[in-house]
A and B are shown apart, each in its own frame.
Chain A
Amino acid sequence: MIGALLNGLTALGSTVTRRLERLGLAARFSLTVIMVLWPALRRTPLVIREVYFSGVRSISIITVSGLFVGMVLAVQGYEVLQRYGSADSLGVIVSLSLVRELGPVVSALLFAGRASSAVTAEIGLMRATEQLDAMDMMAVNPITRVVAPRFLAAIISLPLLSAIFSAAGIFGSYLVGVKLIGIDDGAFWSQMQANVDFRLDILNGLLKSVVFAVAVGLVSVFEGYHAAPTAEGVSSATTRTVVTASLAVLMLDFVLTVLMFRGLM
């Protein structure tokens, strides 16, 4: 009985120690990446290439998702608003939902699933096939050459993708709300223009996207760089990226929302 208890405590202690070690490793790695951002930024072609792979190639999934989310919001929003005779406010409800919350959050989740997982797998495979070691032996720092450009690409791409998501969503809600349901065109746009604040809503949404991009970007490069050099190691790292990045986005969203909009509570 006591033996089992001791074994349990030992296992718990070992798990906690391992987690703390990994957290320390992640913090040190993040600092290293941040310290080489400037030299990496000067290697513009590498960053542009990664923006293309992570950002440009995510535009279709982001646009289609945004469109459908906006269409669903329009149907749901209209169903509730018309009970109170406020169907004309549909544009405001949809746009605020999108620019404040759904745009940054859903695009970050989609980005984690599509682009960040690919970044982790790519860096993990480079580790497994000794490409990172080869680079290091050629006196080229893999953090500057491989990791930092991918991280920068996430910071550049995600806020833009988030804006595209929100724009597509608003267009989707316009199609359903105005063209399909028949809400007044002028009321839809003018109420949106009057009630969506640039600083409070749009800039805060953009700021959220930047914070999510830092989190998702760091998770993806960290997991890839520290993946075990085996097929199983790379697949586990890819899964961890999607899970950790998604949870980080949702938790950070709550914290940021409280900080940004607590005056409204």
Chain B
Amino acid sequence: MSASEATPLIDMKNVRFGYGERLIIDGLSLTVRKGEIVALMGGSGSGKTTLLGLLGGRIQPISGEIHVAGQNVPTLARKELYTLRRRIGMLFQFGALFTDLNVFDNVAFPYREQTDLPEPVIRDLVLMKLEAVGLRGAHPLMPSELSGGMARRVALARAVALDPMLMLYDEPFTGLDPISVGIVGRLIKRLNSAMGMTSLIVTHDLTETLRIADRVVMLASGRIHSDLSPEGMHSSTDPFVRQFADGLPDGPVPFHHPARPYAEELFAR
């Protein structure tokens, strides 16, 4: 690993975030080096998507520092935040394509909004990005004419349009068939290395994650429970990691939501 790759692109220190009294992120610290693909996993409500919101500056922490490319995100003014966001791409859970624009215009959107490039150049760039995700032929289609997997790939082409240094993926495999999961997974891996990006993936898909990620960070109760390599995930004997890896219904994450004793509930009148 070179010196530049060892430099942390993301450096979060003692971050706390919550709604009212309820803490979602509780003293979390995380470092992601340049060029890494880091998967964030954990049960529903463990704070994975919240973490992406904090990194993108969409929500403000109660306390702590969130450094992205050396800038402390919560302290940035809107203009500075927007300058930083031009270097961050984000793939939303269901793509979030603009439904009133066709595939071509969706991918052209960042160029038209953020650059002064002439239309012929934008056309070539859009077609190149669509070619990279295998959908150049779909450029005239509307989002309503795309399958879930295609929509996710178009959204990926749009997210990497401005060659971001950091890509945030919010559950990119949710709702996709196995073929599409494989396609999107390979694209994430390929784009990360080809474009020299760093990727943070929030996901529940363990098989695909272990295939493409360099590290798997597991969150529980708003903190990092474990930070393992894919091999470490396979061999881990930690009950929480095993419950997650083996898909066990009960364990450290209980099957039942907290409630009164069953008999008491049934016979209470």
Q: Which residues of A contact B (CB under 8 A)?
A: 125-126, 129-131, 133-141, 145
Contacts and interface: CB of A to CB of B under 8 A. Distances in A.
Contact of B93 (A125, A130, A131): A130
A43 B31 CA distance: 41
A229 to B, nearest CB: 12
Given A129-B99, A131-B98, A131-B99, A138 B92 contact: no
A125 B88 CA distance: 25
B99 A137 contact: no
B165 interface: no
Contact of B88 (A129, A133, A137, A145): A137
Interface residues of B, number: 20
Contacts of B82: 139, 141
Contacts of A131: 96-99
B197 interface: no
Interface of B: 56, 58, 82-83, 85-86, 88, 90, 92-94, 96-99, 109-110, 113-114, 155
Contact of A134 (B83, B86, B88, B92): B92
Contacts of B94: 129-130
A128 to B, nearest CB: 10
Contact of B56 (A126, A137, A140): A137
A130 B151 CA distance: 14
Contacts of B114: 138-140
Contacts of B109: 138, 140
Contacts of A141: 82
B58 A130 contact: no
B99 A138 contact: no
A135 B90 CA distance: 10
A134 B96 contact: yes
A137 B58 contact: yes
B234 to A, nearest CB: 34
Nearest to A132: B96
A84 B99 CA distance: 60
Contact of B85 (A126, A129, A138, A145): A138
A125 B143 CA distance: 14
A213 B138 CA distance: 40
22 contacts: A126-B99, A130-B92, A130-B93, A133-B58, A133-B92, A134-B90, A134-B96, A134-B98, A134-B155, A136-B58, A137-B56, A137-B88, A137-B90, A138-B85, A138-B86, A138-B110, A139-B83, A139-B85, A139-B86, A139-B113, A139-B114, A140-B109
Contacts of B110: 138
Nearest to A130: B96
Contacts of A129: 94, 96, 99
A137 B94 CA distance: 15
Contacts of A133: 58, 92, 96
Contacts of B83: 139
Contacts of A136: 58, 85
A131 B158 CA distance: 13
- A-B pairs with lowest CB-CB distance, top 10: A134-B96, A139-B82, A130-B96, A139-B85, A137-B90, A130-B92, A140-B113, A139-B86, A131-B96, A138-B110
A264 to B, nearest CB: 48
> Which of A129, A137, A141 has the most C-beta atoms of chain B within 10 angstroms of its own C-beta?
A137
B164 to A, nearest CB: 10
A31 B140 CA distance: 38
B149 to A, nearest CB: 17
Contacts of A139: 82-83, 85-86, 113-114
Given A129-B99, A133-B92, A134-B98, 16 more contacts: A129-B96, A130-B93, A130-B94, A130-B96, A134-B90, A136-B85, A137-B56, A137-B85, A137-B88, A137-B90, A138-B109, A138-B110, A138-B114, A139-B82, A139-B85, A145-B113
> Which of A129, A130, A136, A139 has the most C-beta atoms of chain B within 10 angstroms of its own C-beta?
A139
A201 B114 CA distance: 47
Contacts of B97: 131
Contacts of A134: 90, 92, 96, 98, 155
B95 to A, nearest CB: 8
Nearest to B98: A131
B180 to A, nearest CB: 19
